[in-house]
Structure 1
Amino acid sequence: MSHSLSMRTWNNYAGRVMSMACQRPLRAHLGFVRMHSGTISFGCRNVNQVDRSFSVSTTRSQEQTQSQDQKKIKILFFGSDSFSVPHLEALLAEKEKPGSIIERIDVVSPKERTKKSKRDAEDSPLTLLAKQNNLKTYPSPDRKGGFDAWTFPEDKDVAAWDFGVVVSFGWFLPDNVITRFKKAGINVHPSLLPRYRGSAPLQRAIMNQDKVTGVTVQLLDPNEFDAGKILAQAEVNMPENPTYRSLESLLAKKGGELVVDVVNNFDERRRDAKTQDPALVTKANKISREACKIQWNTWDAPRAERLYRANGFRYPMSTLWKVQDTDKHLSVSLFDLFTIDKALPASEYVLEDSQSVATLGSTPGTIFYHKPTESFHVSCANGSLLGISALQFEGKKRVSAKDFYNGYKIRSGVSRFEYS
């Protein structure tokens, strides 16, 4: 209604509205009349002090409320390991915010992981989080049967989930699963796709000394891993000397923020989604145990140390140790690796003879015991030295370099690790 109405017109209008509104005009009186933002509200009060209000915007308000109710979404979250946990935590935190559109979250995760006995069996990190928050959980596919033997979750309270959110799940979701979601199946991948498609993007970023990495939220592709349209990306500067675990934690936090943004703004993100450029695709294949065997004659120390930071959480670096006075070789795992940035005085090393100092950093695989740090310094390619603080023979306990030196009659500057 225009604010320029004449007083007479206004009074006539207000009187007609009040006459219609109050069924017993002798028992009611005008409570208030106010104008704001183009909305006019009227009130009438009877002797029982029961308030009634009338507004020309009531219908619009009801429509907005209904629209908000319709936007409420249900999420089926697929995950397993420590990388997936912060993403579920972020969605749970968003769900608890006033006005959140997230109504419900259910979880698909691995069954309990069995150790040596049933008493030692434990849930996956994601399953533990789900149980702590009283979320309904469903088992992920069995390793033998896969999705062919897997039954899609059914719940009498859920006609259909709006989103399937997949984070470090370990399975490729087929099209007949993806299409069960009303809006979409989406995935969080810890790289700036199309760079580093595959199962080891964090490891490759560390090994390749990338300065910038990031997180991508993509639509699930029904034909190929990590090939979906990009809904959102966030760049992250690489910290100095990251390990797999430290980088995982950093990117998981960013990924949690990103997936919440995509869920809240999905229509807009889908509208602006980008197709990946095939010419820019690089692969990040899984790193095998075999690939962690140090090649002393061709690897320099920084390469070995980077691989340890990238993949040491899964497989230790390893080498061969020749048993003295025999032809027998034993595999030995190496831990707590570091590089030596500058040449150290020969006086700091235990040297078996005067000639051994000449081989310091020159003959690959040669072991030197460094007294101040109680560690081994091993010669690598290009004259570099790799520091080793702990070692472990297969089937034996891990020991310090000092104990290894004293127990296995290491001849510092003479004894060598070998390579296959």
Structure 2
Amino acid sequence: MYKEGGKILRIVFWGTPEFALPSLERLKDKISLVITKPDKPQGRGLKLKPSPVKSKALELNIPVLSPEKLSEIKDKLSGFDLGVVVAYGLIIPKKIIDMFPKGIINLHPSLLPKYRGPAPIQWAIMNGEEETGVSIIYLTEELDAGDIILQERVKIFPEDTTETLSERLSMIGAEVLERAIGLIETGSINPIPQELLGTVSYAPKIDPEMGKIIWNARSKDIVNKIRALTPWPKAYFYRCGLRINILEGEPSPIKGEPGRVISVEEKGILVGTQDGSVWIKKVQPESRKVISGYDFANGYRIKEGSFLADE
């Protein structure tokens, strides 16, 4: 619950993955109800496992619902004032949005209107962006198209992966989200339509097959793909029919034939690209442990002058 000029604001929080946890924990004293996706079967025994948000809500003693469809719980959503969405993972229909007098707000990890869609962090890294951010917007029927309440810019470091950048954006986003609720509380918001802030771009769902490395590409594009697809679904190539996931790479100006091994050193495997080369520093052969590129080269008898991948 949250006080608005002496009135208690009743807040419903929608979220599912770990990305939503910093927001849930920061707002825990202001939330009346949590809604998350249903438990999923996982592991060899396919035992049902709750989402990270459900586990945390139960730990915090916040009531939680995990319906297959929101229509199942529509009658339980009356009497609330404000909705907050952080990576829920399902569409919230207009008839639900309209039930909240103060609307529903959403934390989106990009500087909207850039990178609307389900994978903004991955695409920002893949495209070589040096800056991204978080946006707090009003939820609308059109995906990620609502007016902007607050934004904050965040630097993307050269060593960032989707994993490290997601963690940082989730923490910063939680703080900005709390500030946005404060503005709603005081009635001092001044939402800005996205069309006033630039051109719309999109971040579609990541296809696992897009991780395959094409060596006749620019070095920085190959490394950006490795960074963007870590921890999932991972960039990869095939060697002796075995999928080899690449977890860390570094561009190099040394010239070489695309796909051909230039050098094998403790630093890793140096492989030629379109405009230079890439150091393959850390890999994970399918169903095996993570090892250094150097150890992989020794174990799989990779020699200078040979092609790294099967094709």
Distance in 2 (CA, whole Å) between partners of 1:110 and 1:136 is: 14
2:7 counterpart of 1:85: no
Distance in 1 (CA, whole Å) between partners of 2:89 and 2:46 is: 26
Deviation at 1:215, TM superposition (A): 1.1
Per-residue CA deviations over 1:306-325 (Å, capped at 9, x if unaligned) read: 1111122111212233x4xx
Compute the RMSD of aligned alpha carbons. 2.6
Unaligned runs of 5+ in 2: none
User: Which residue of structure 1 lines up, in the alignment, with residue 248 of structure 2?
Assistant: 337
User: Which residue of structure 2 lines up, in the alignment, with residue 412 of structure 1?
Assistant: 304
Equivalent runs, 1:268-307 vs 2, <5 Å: 272-277=190-195, 280-297=199-216, 299-307=217-225
User: Which residue of structure 2 lines up, in the alignment, with residue 227 of structure 1?
Assistant: 145
One-letter amino acid of the counterpart of residue 196, structure 1:
Y
Unaligned runs of 5+ in 1: 1-65, 96-101, 324-329, 344-360
User: Which residue of structure 2 lines up, in the alignment, with residue 362 of structure 1?
Assistant: 256
Deviation at 1:232, TM superposition (A): 1.5
Distance in 1 (CA, whole Å) between partners of 2:4 and 2:115 is: 40
Correspondent of 1:75 among 11, 19, 32? 11
User: Which residue of structure 1 lines up, in the alignment, with residue 271 of structure 2?
Assistant: 378
Q: 1:410 to 1:238 in 2, by over 3 A?
A: closer
Deviation at 1:110, TM superposition (A): 2.1
2:288 counterpart of 1:397: yes
Task: Select the structure of larger CA radius of gyration.
Answer: 1
Per-residue CA deviations over 1:337-356 (Å, capped at 9, x if unaligned) read: 2215465xxxxxxxxxxxxx
User: Which residue of structure 2 lines up, in the alignment, with residue 35 of structure 1?
Assistant: none
Distance in 1 (CA, whole Å) between partners of 2:226 and 2:162 is: 9
Deviation at 1:399, TM superposition (A): 5.8
User: Which residue of structure 2 lines up, in the alignment, with residue 203 of structure 1?
Assistant: 122
Query: TM-score, normalised on structure 2?
Result: 0.88
Q: More relative contact order in 1 or in 2 (CA 8 Å, sep 6+)?
A: 2
For these two proteins, the number of residue pairs brought into alignment is 307
One-letter amino acid of the counterpart of residue 190, structure 2:
D
- What secondary structure does 2:194 align onto? coil
Equivalent runs, 1:290-329 vs 2, <5 Å: 290-297=209-216, 299-321=217-239, 323=240
2:170 counterpart of 1:252: yes
- What secondary structure does 1:338 align onto? strand
One-letter amino acid of the counterpart of residue 270, structure 2:
H
Deviation at 1:397, TM superposition (A): 1.8
272-281 vs 170-179, greater mean Cα deviation: 272-281
Distance in 2 (CA, whole Å) between partners of 1:164 and 1:242 is: 31
Per-residue CA deviations over 1:143-193 (Å, capped at 9, x if unaligned) read: xxx445x332628xxx51111111101111101111121221111111111
Correspondent of 1:151 among 73, 79, 88? 73
Deviation at 1:405, TM superposition (A): 3.3
